[in-house]
């Protein structure tokens, strides 16, 4: 089963959920706000995609962090701590595809090729 992780009011997550539904991709939605960030999954995402891809440095949550906190994120372990403390900093959506691949962000062309 494909799992889409994110925040329900995020515009990109809304587009991604609609795209999956339109293309008949059975999936479940994991809400970071209600269900938190699963640590085991986060470790898998960091291994597969790397911290640079998972940390959304363009979002308001990142920009709202103090400079020392932002500067302390330099590798997977430091990013892991930040992402667990501030799930809104995770670039969305994260998708764990049924065949085991992990993607970060919404890219309709890439997703089409996965079907």
Domain count, the chain: 1
CATH number for 53: 3.40.30.10
Where are the extended beta strands (E) located within 1-115? 2-6, 27-31, 94-96, 102-104
Catalytic (active site) residue 10: yes
Q: What is the pLDDT of residue 115?
A: 84
* Residue numbers of the domain that contains 85: 2-114
The mean pLDDT of 77-89, rounded to a whole number, is 96
Q: What is the pLDDT of residue 16?
A: 97
Nearest CA among 28, 29, 40, 42 for reference residue 87? 42
pLDDT digits 0-9 by tens, 43-80: 999 999 999 999 999 999 999 999 999 999 999 999 99
Q: Which of 2, 3, 7, 10 is flagged as catalytic?
A: 10
Rg of the chain on CA atoms, in Å: 14
pLDDT digits 0-9 by tens, 3-53: 999 999 999 999 999 999 999 999 999 999 999 999 999 999 999 999 999
Q: What is the pLDDT of residue 43?
A: 97
């Amino acid at each position: 089963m494909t799992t889409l992780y994110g925040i329900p009011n995020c515009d990109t997550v809304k587009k991604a959920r609609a795209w999956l539904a339109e293309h008949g991709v059975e999936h479940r939605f994991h809400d970071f706000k209600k269900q938190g960030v699963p640590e085991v999954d986060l470790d898998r995402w960091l291994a597969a995609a790397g911290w640079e891809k998972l940390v959304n440095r363009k979002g308001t949550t990142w920009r709202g962090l103090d400079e020392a906190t932002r500067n302390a994120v330099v590798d997977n372990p430091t990013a892991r701590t930040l992402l667990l403390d501030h799930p809104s900093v995770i670039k969305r959506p994260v998708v764990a595809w049924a065949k085991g691949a992990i993607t970060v962000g919404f890219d309709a062309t890439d997703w089409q090729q996965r079907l």
